[in-house]
């Protein structure tokens, strides 16, 4: 029998206890031995919980109990979670977590500490909720050189964009609805500004390219600026708009960004709607594979945590953790030096002159018709694939033209 302790009895933590209890027979069978929750750490009281006898407010009861071999950290954040994880690993306990912030911030240190102590630090649940992605990326695609990862990694923003597309709601309205349905938090900043997706693509990239990718170096834009008109333009191009997290190995560096993007109906990401997540992985042997499923939620996330626990029990004593090399000077390529196509909308004074100005600034572009007769004094186009720095220069030049009154919006096009 293996004893585990759960630190933090919130949504995910209580889900972990529930899944282990509910499926104990089949879980024990797959793990090769019984898995028992021995202690639960939480500062709150749960007098009515069927688990009430397992609760403690004192973490040392867990650290100092040599019979506890695995600690599930579902506290979140990088305060207590960080300290407790370090302590647990130092005490020779395996740690499993769903805490993307902690992994993205202190991953290299914690993985090193795990290795030194001959234990595992696993975090399948930190990305994509219940979708199996970290182990498949590391194990099932191990024969591949991974070229790129493209993902819809945040359910909240995907829900908002889906509502804008389907119901014709504007951003504020769709956000409000997401909050009412519990898909967005009262303070939705981390989701809608792209910070959540940024941490997740940093973790996936670190696994895929086998070197630490610092999330602070990743260019990140949210979806606040996306309007209903942008969405309608996208639809008229047989496309939609998604918050896309992307990373690509280019030479010795890594291109990575989180930003809204025009996604064609030909992309497998196009039909990923509502709160679902999906991750497309491209490798040299496999070509392209996609993983799709619920990106959050109590039981899906718990499912991923418990799978890590089973993995540790099954391969007890063997250390399967990753080794994230931290490169001096970093490895994330300056976004300005990367290439993309841009969809650009302009308010114009004189259409003919504005078109000339656009072609002066950008060379050949693909003109996009207004999605509707009501759209007045606008020009829209898609640039060729250009360096971001050249795009910025061209845009600057365009802004100087008298024929152009304003740049309404500019959104990258996913190729």
| Catalytic residue flag (residue 232) | no
Cα 244 → chain centroid: 9
Q: Which stretch binds a second copy (CB under 8 A): 18-26, 75-83, 256-264, 377-385?
A: 18-26
Report 310-339 residues binding a second copy (CB under 8 A).
Answer: 310-311, 314-315, 318, 320
- Asked whether residue 185 is marked as a ligand-binding residue, the answer is yes
Q: Per CB under 8 A, which region of 15-23, 37-45, 193-201, 369-377 contacts a second copy?
A: 15-23
Sequence-ordered alpha helix ranges (H) in 255-326? 298-314
Name the residue nearer to a second copy (CB basis): 285 or 352.
Answer: 285
Q: Which stretch binds a second copy (CB under 8 A): 16-24, 244-252, 331-339, 399-407?
A: 16-24
Rounded distance, CA 362 to CA 178, Å? Answer: 38
Note whether 325 and 212 are within 8 A (CB): yes
| 169-to-192, 231, 253 alpha-carbon distances in Å | 16, 10, 40
> Which entry of 200, 242, 249, 298 is annotated as an active-site residue?
200
| Per-residue mark of binding to a second copy, 292-311 (x: CB under 8 A) | xxx--x-xx-xxxxxx-xxx
CB of 353 to a second copy, least distance (A): 42
Q: How far is the CB of 6 from a second copy (least distance, A)?
A: 14
Min dist. Cβ of residue 12 to a second copy (A): 12
Tokens of 288: 């392209």
Does residue 290 touch a second copy according to CB under 8 A? yes
SS3 114: helix
Q: Of the two residues 8 and 283, which places its CB atom closer to a second copy in the complex? A: 283
Q: Are 239 and 177 in contact (CB under 8 A)?
A: no
* Distance set, CA 394 to CA 65, 318, 349, 400 (Å): 64, 55, 19, 10
DSSP class per residue in 317-363: T-------B--TT-SBPPGGGSEEEEEEEEEES-HHHHHHHHHHHHS
Is 243 near a second copy (CB under 8 A)? Answer: no
Least distance to a second copy, CB of residue 15, Å: 8
- Annotated binding residues for L-homoserine, written as ranges, equal 185
- Annotated binding residues, written as ranges, equal 7-14, 100, 185
């Amino acid at each position: 029998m293996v004893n585990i302790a759960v630190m933090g009895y919130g949504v995910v933590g209580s889900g972990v206890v529930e899944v282990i209890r509910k499926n104990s027979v089949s879980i024990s069978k797959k793990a090769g031995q019984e898995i028992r929750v021995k202690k639960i750490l939480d500062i709150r009281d749960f007098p009515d919980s069927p688990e009430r006898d397992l609760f403690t407010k004192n973490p040392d009861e867990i650290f100092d109990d040599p019979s506890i071999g695995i600690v599930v950290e579902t506290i979140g954040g990088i305060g207590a979670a960080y300290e407790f994880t370090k302590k647990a690993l130092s005490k020779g306990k395996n740690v499993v977590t769903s805490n993307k912030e902690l992994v993205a911030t202190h991953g290299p240190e914690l993985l090193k500490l795990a290795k030194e102590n001959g234990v595992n630090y696993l975090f399948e649940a930190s990305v994509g909720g219940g979708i199996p992605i970290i182990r498949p990326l590391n194990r099932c695609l191990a024969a591949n050189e991974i070229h790129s990862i493209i993902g819809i990694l945040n359910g909240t923003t995907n829900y908002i964009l889906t509502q804008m597309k389907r119901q014709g709601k504007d951003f504020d309205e769709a956000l409000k609805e997401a909050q009412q349905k519990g898909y967005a938090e009262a303070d939705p900043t981390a989701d809608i500004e792209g910070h959540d997706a940024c941490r997740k693509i940093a973790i996936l990239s670190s696994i895929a390219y086998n070197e630490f990718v610092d999330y602070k170096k990743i260019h990140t834009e949210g979806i606040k600026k996306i309007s209903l008109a942008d969405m309608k333009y996208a639809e008229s191009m047989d496309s939609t708009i998604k918050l896309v997290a992307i990373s690509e190995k280019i030479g010795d560096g890594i291109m990575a960004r989180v930003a809204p993007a025009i996604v064609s109906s030909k992309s497998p990401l196009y039909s990923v709607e509502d709160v679902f997540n999906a991750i497309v992985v491209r490798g040299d042997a496999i070509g392209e594979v996609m993983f799709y499923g619920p990106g959050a939620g109590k039981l899906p996330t718990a499912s991923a945590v418990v799978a890590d626990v089973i993995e540790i029990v099954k391969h007890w004593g063997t250390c399967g953790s990753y080794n994230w090399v931290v490169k001096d000077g970093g490895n994330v390529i300056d976004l300005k030096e990367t290439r993309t196509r841009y969809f650009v909308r302009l308010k114009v004074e004189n259409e003919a002159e504005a078109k000339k100005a656009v072609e002066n600034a950008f060379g050949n572009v693909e003109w996009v018709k207004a999605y509707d007769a009501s759209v007045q004094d606008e020009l829209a186009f898609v640039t060729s694939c250009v360096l971001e720095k050249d795009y910025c220069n061209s845009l600057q030049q365009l802004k100087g033209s008298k024929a152009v009154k304003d740049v309404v919006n500019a959104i990258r096009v996913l190729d």
